Amino acid sequence: MSIERMTQLGNIHISQEAIAMLAGGVVTECYGVVGMASQKVLKDGFAELLKKENFTKGVVVRKDENGFEIDLYIVLMYGIRISEVVASIQQKVKYMLEKSLEQSFTKVNIYVQGLKVNE
C-alpha cells in the first residue's frame, strides 16, 4: 500500500517501505521500546527483532474510507507499564506520520510481540 498524491508539479508516490522506515524510526526512539518485531512469532514464542533495513516486516499499512491504518509489531522492555508506553507510541507515531506525510491516520494499532529483560 503506497500513498499517492497529485500536485501541480507532478505525482508523488510514497512506498510502504518509506512509511515503515518513518514509523519504525519513531517507535525505536520511544522510551521502553527494545525494537521492532516481525509479524510472525517464531515457533518457541520468541519474536524476531528487526534491524533498520527490515522495519517493513513489522509494519502494515492499510487504507480505509477515512484515511490510513497502521499496525506496528514491537518488543518492549520488561518491567515497564505497557499501557502507558503503548499510548505514548500511538500518539507519537500518529503525529509524526500525519505531519510528515500530510495524510490522515485513523488508527495506530500496536501489537506487543514480546518483553525483553535489559541487562
Q: Which residues of the chain have pLDDT under 50?
A: 43-44
DSSP 55: G
Please tell me the distance from the alpha carbon of residue 48 to that of residue 53, in angstroms, as a whole number.
Answer: 14
pLDDT of residue 44: 47
Q: Which amino acid is at 116?
A: K
Alpha carbon of residue 1 to chain centroid = 14
CA distances from 14 to 7, 81, 97, 113 (A): 14, 34, 12, 27
Quote the pLDDT of residue 52: 63
Please give the pLDDT value at position 42.
58
pLDDT of residue 6: 86
pLDDT, position 57: 80
What is the helix, strand, coil percentage profile of the chain, to 5? 35, 40, 25
Read off the C-alpha cell for 10: 507532478
Residue 52 φ/ψ, nearest 5 degrees: -55, -40
Output the pLDDT for position 87. Answer: 96
Domains of the chain: 15-116 (3.30.70.1350)
CA 30/CA 76 separation, integer angstroms: 10
pLDDT, residue 1, reads 63
Task: Tally helices (H) and strands (E) across the chain.
Answer: 2, 7
